[in-house]
Amino acid sequence: MKSFNRIVGTIVLGLCVCSSHSVSADSPSPPQTQLKSFALPKDTQSADISPDEQFVATVSTQKKDQSDYTANPYWDFVQLWNLKDEQLVSEFSEHSPDTHIFTSSRSGNIAYPPHGLRIVRFSSDGKTVLALIGHTIHLLRSRDLSEMRSIRLQKPDDVSQTNHGKTRMIGYDLHSAEISPNGDLFAVLWVAEKHGKVQIFELSTGNVVSSWDVPTGWLGYAGSLKWHPNGTLILIPIPNSQPCRYATHQPDVFVFDTKSGDLRYQLTTGLQVGSIAVAPDSRVLAVQRGCFQLSNGAGRPLEVFDLSTRKHLQNVSGRATGVLYSVSISADGSRFIAFTGNVRRKYDFLDATSYGVTVDETFSAWNLTNYDGIVTSQNVPGLRDSDLKLSSSGKYAVSTGKAAFVFALP
């Protein structure tokens, strides 16, 4: 694949099937506009736009045809693309390391692609691309993606858990990870059911310089960890109730000192909190996971809190069914984006449950200074099951997952 595939989305206008839950908000929904968009490589799991907003780095897993049926046919590709001319600049690839979960037979009936976290990020100066593939961090020179060094993650020891008088050992899985704002550290969150542990790696040495346990909770449904832009705090959203039940009015966003691991702040959002984002001035933006099992599962606005005072500052409306799933802030703190697609609630009367059915899938962008709406995208199929990320000054948005695209914003 030598160039992006440009796509033209469909502008969704007119009436929609809406949630019966009213959205209480202090800011209007942005107008919908057709955005210029470029398709990223198929199955892109993570992407990042360079600090100068000239390039986009992607990581994807692809299957190669092989005559040896006992071998793992999956490879991981880190690719660097020029945003201006949509051309592939350079590429790094390696055989997928997750061979332990791959099984096959000569009949070709059983073949599972590799699982595990894939993350790609630019350093703050744009000179290095960090790619986490499996349990290995690859540090690549950004101009040609040649590997400078690699760091193997150190998986924590199994933890014991007792249920109904029976004790068993539980292994940790990699949940989320993120590079620090200045690019010298890399934070990793490991989860073993209701147990969680954070490790901070120093990228220059590969050493773990800090490690701590997080409060027990529904960590399997926790949102991704986030660095505060000042580089001294890490925030982790942890739902305080079983998924898709009513959220309890107890802390659900926990803020830790990156050096000591001490718990500095706790926020209570009142949401079934899914994703959060942190602004340079310590405002925290939080959105609902999007559960539909109970009557208030949809139609929630994005909520804004002050980290220092823990006070609620603002609600930001989306479209008919609120703001859900994913939120991101530009590095300069000027803009933010979030999922604003319309989701209709459908009831299963036999099981006495309800669930969400997607009507359309859009994201919206706002000015973070005054919460004025900037734009709402066209319908982007697959966006509901994707992650959103803004470029450093908010000129571009990138989605990864089922919908892998770069969008140029006005």
pLDDT, average across residues 162-183: 91
pLDDT of residue 246: 67
**What are the φ and ψ backbone dihedral angles of 149, each rounded to 5 degrees?**
-170, 170
Which position has the higher pLDDT, 61 or 6?
Answer: 61
8 A C-beta contact, residue 58 and residue 10: no
Looking up residue 63, the CATH number of its domain turns out to be 2.130.10.10
pLDDT of residue 35: 97
**What are the φ and ψ backbone dihedral angles of 119, each rounded to 5 degrees?**
-140, 140
pLDDT of residue 10: 32
Q: What is the pLDDT of residues 285-300, one digit of tens each?
A: 999 887 654 444 457 8
Q: Shortest CA distance to 173 belongs to which of 120, 122, 244, 101?
A: 101
73 in a structural domain: yes
8 A C-beta contact, residue 384 and residue 392: no
Mention every residue, 6+ apart, whose C-beta is less than 8 A from residue 135.
97, 116, 152, 153, 155, 174
pLDDT of residue 270: 87
136-139 long-range contacts (CB < 8 A, ≥24 apart) are: 136/97, 137/186, 137/201, 137/203, 138/78, 138/92, 138/94, 139/203
- Alpha carbon 267 to chain centroid distance? 20
Which position has the higher pLDDT, 297 or 368?
Answer: 368
For residue 350, what pLDDT band results from cuts at 50, 70 and 90? Answer: confident
Q: Is the pLDDT of residue 364 over 50?
A: yes
Q: Is the pLDDT of residue 24 over 50?
A: no
Beta bridge partners of 10: 379
CA distance 384 to 363: 9
| Count of the separate structural domains present in the chain | 1
**What are the φ and ψ backbone dihedral angles of 46, each rounded to 5 degrees?**
-155, 150
48 in a structural domain: yes
143-148 long-range contacts (CB < 8 A, ≥24 apart) are: 143/90, 144/90, 145/78, 145/79, 145/80, 145/90, 145/91, 145/92, 146/92, 147/92
pLDDT, average across residues 342-362: 75
138 in a structural domain: yes
Q: pTM, whole model, 2 decimals?
A: 0.86
- Greatest distance between any 2 Cα atoms in the chain: 62
pLDDT, average across residues 174-181: 96
> Which residue range forms the structural domain that includes residue 145?
41-152
217 in a structural domain: no
Which position has the higher pLDDT, 217 or 395?
Answer: 395
Q: What are the residue ranges of helices labelled H in 316-375?
A: none
What one-character DSSP code corresponds to residue 215? Answer: P
- Alpha carbon 401 to chain centroid distance? 9
CA distance 19 to 340: 13
pLDDT of residue 220: 85
- When computed from its CA atoms, the radius of gyration of the chain, rounded to whole angstroms, is 21
279 in a structural domain: no
pLDDT of residue 225: 97
Tell how strand 37-39 and strand 405-408 pair up.
antiparallel
Helix or strand (DSSP H, E) at 329: strand 324-329
Burial track 70-85 (b if 16+ CB lie within 10 A, e otherwise): eebbbebbbbbbebee
Q: And the tokens for 216?
A: 């027990």
pLDDT, average across residues 246-260: 89
107 in a structural domain: yes
The amino acid sitting at 108 is: G
pLDDT, average across residues 104-111: 42
278 in a structural domain: no
CA distance 354 to 345: 6
Give me the percent of the chain exceeding a pLDDT of 70: 82
Which position has the higher pLDDT, 164 or 69?
Answer: 164
Residue 167's CB is within 10 A of a number of other CB atoms, namely 8
Q: What is the mean pLDDT of the chain?
A: 85
pLDDT of residue 197: 97
56 in a structural domain: yes
Q: What is the pLDDT of residues 48-105, one digit of tens each?
A: 999 999 999 999 998 877 656 557 788 999 999 999 898 999 999 998 886 444 444 4
pLDDT of residue 3: 47
